[in-house]
Each structure stands twice: as C-alpha cells, then as structure tokens.
Amino acid sequence: MTHNIAILGASGYTGAELIRLIDGHSSMTIKALGGNSKAGQSMASVFPHLRHMDLPDLVTMEEIDFSAIDLCFCALPHKTSQEVIAQLPKDLKIVDLSADFRLRDPEEYKRWYGNTHAALEQQAEAVYGLTEFYREEIRGARLVAGTGCNAATGQFALRPLITGGLIDLDDIILDLKCAVSGAGRALKENLLHAELSEGYHAYALGGTHRHLGEFDQEFSALAGRPVKVQFTPHLMPANRGILATVYVKGDPQAIHNALQSAYADEPFLEVLPFGEAPSTRHIRGSNFCHIGVSGDRIKGRAIVVAALDNLTKGSSGQALQNANLMLDIEETEGLMMAPLFP
C-alpha cells in the first residue's frame, strides 16, 4: 500500500531532508509540497540537489487538497505551525517538526516561547515524538510532536541513567556543539560565512535555551521529582551534526552497561565500546545516534558523549520514523542508509 504525503514548509532544510528520505521509501508518495514564500517554484529551482526527483511544484497551503492526503509533515517555524495545524482536517495524521506541541503544559510553552498557545485542542492530543521511548503511544497517535534536535541528543545520553537511578540528578552538565543548519535557512547576520567560520561560540547562556523546557519536562517525569540540567549549546561552523558531552556523577562501567542494555535492540542507537568517543563525521546524513562512555580521573564521575545528525535523527529522520509507526509501516523503512563519509 502506498500512502500519499504532504509536506508543509518544504522550502526549508528539514523539508528538503524529508523529501530526500522519502525518495528511498517504498510506501510513500509525495503528493503536495507547501511553501508559501516560494509558491509556484519547482523544487529543482529551490533545492537543485533534488532535481532528479519527480516532484510537484511548491504551492500555498490553501491549494492543497488534504482529503487526498494520508499524512502531513509540518516543517514550519514555531507559532506558525500551531496556527496552520489548527486549520487542518481533524482526522488528518500529522507529524509536526516545530516546537509548538512538545511541551504538555501551555504555561510552560508560553514561558519558553513567549506566546500564548493558539491550538490547545491539538496540543492536548499531541504525543511527544522521541520514538524509542514513546513508540506505542506514537502508533495510535493522530498528532506527533517531533523533539528538538538538542533535546533528542541529550535524552538519548541520559534517560536510561535517570530511570536506572545511576547518576546524581542534581549534578548533570550538558555541553553541546551544534551545526549551523539547526538555525534554519533564513538569512541571519550571525550565520553569515564571515561571522561564523573559523571559530565557534556559546549561546543561550545561563539556562535560557528553549530546549531546556523539554529536558525539564521529560527528566522530571522520569525521576518523579524536579530535575534541572546545566546546559550550554555552542554553534560550530559545520553544516550538520550535534555532539553532546554530558558530565555526571556515577559509576562509568555501570552507566555503559545500562546504555548497552537499554539500546541493545534499537536499530538506530549504537553504544560504542567502553572508552571510545563518537564523532559527528560518523553519523552524517543518517538516522543513527552513536553514544560513548568513559571514566574520568576523578573517581565517581563519568562522561557520556552522544552524536547525531540534527537534520536526520534530530528532526526529519525522526519524523519519518514516527510516520512509519503511525501508518503501520516497518519503523526502519527509508531510514537504514549508511552515514556519508568522508
């Protein structure tokens, strides 16, 4: 059976990544591509690397006949996404890649994103889209909220350690390096080549990054009490990839064993041999996440390092993984391609 797919926000990086991935999918056909700012243009003109594909031209959302669509990916900015999704058919399956439906508490959403939520009915039914931990809920969901790419990386490193009671919950430091594509395709002064190349810098200092809302929500739910991590992201002059280095108090070997056990049957999560560190170059363009664990010279401390591609496993690949479950397709379909190297 072939499922008809629409992508809203197809002119952005995550939209293009969805198209690239679906091209290798045996059970999906792209029927509509929404991109209001580039409506009327061909995908070959917007993204020349996709010119070999037989794709519909970009159109406005109003031009799409959603009665012929089985599932819609929304790759729109936050705030815009909730306004659009509130207008879509109530029986349409949706995977949202924005931040609009990740936080269950509307007040927390307002706190982190600065605006009152405009689609509370849809927010109430949304399932958090960290596939490996919400698999059964996602299977029966109509609306799935994709995680933040930083939030996914940190959670893959930490969730089994929190549930296993293996680390000090009041002493978690998350140092994260992220590639520039995570900031989207819009023109911004700080993302110009001369502003960004030949260096990298910390941002959102002092616990102000919006993905902290997801960490607070998820880690506190796991622990049964408030958990707040110390998190600082750094923007690096690379196109793809996230590298998270997590510093925790706990036994390094027990932590490694717990991660190996938790992810032994997961197709996309690879735990490296003890003492080895992952690299963003080894997961580029793939839906895999590599995780390494090491001890430290300070007794009782451990270092957990996780690497994933922010556009694939951190966003569009995760979205396709969720869509497969929602449409009763093999979860790995279209996603087992090897990473690009070098």
Sheet containing 93-96: order of strands = 58-59, 28-34, 3-8, 71-74, 93-96, 143-145, 127-128
Residue 331 located in a structural domain: no
72 is catalytic: no
Given pLDDT bands bounded at 50, 70 and 90, which one contains residue 199?
A: confident
pLDDT, tens digit, 9 for 90 and up, residues 207-238? 999 999 999 999 999 999 999 999 999 999 99
pLDDT, tens digit, 9 for 90 and up, residues 171-193? 999 999 999 888 787 767 777 87
Given pLDDT bands bounded at 50, 70 and 90, which one contains residue 64?
A: very high
CATH number at residue 183: 3.30.360.10
Q: pLDDT at position 186, please? A: 77
Q: Tell me how far apart the alpha carbons of residues 218 and 204 are, in angstroms, rounded to a whole number.
A: 20
Q: pLDDT at position 188, please? A: 78
Q: Which domain holds residue 246?
A: 150-309
Query: Angle at which helices 106-113 and 212-223 pack, to 10 degrees?
Result: 150
Q: pLDDT at position 278, please? A: 98
CATH number at residue 87: 3.40.50.720
The domain tally of the chain equals 2
Give just the sign of the alpha carbon dihedral 166, 219, 143, 241.
Answer: negative
Average pLDDT, the chain: 96
pTM of the full predicted structure? Answer: 0.96
Report the pLDDT averaged over residues 133-157: 98
User: Which is the catalytic residue, given 72, 149, 178, 289?
Assistant: 149
Indicate if 166 and 66 belong to the same structural domain: no
Q: Tell me how far apart the alpha carbons of residues 100 and 106 are, in angstroms, rounded to a whole number.
A: 10
Indicate if 140 and 258 belong to the same structural domain: no
pLDDT, tens digit, 9 for 90 and up, residues 15-26? 999 999 999 999
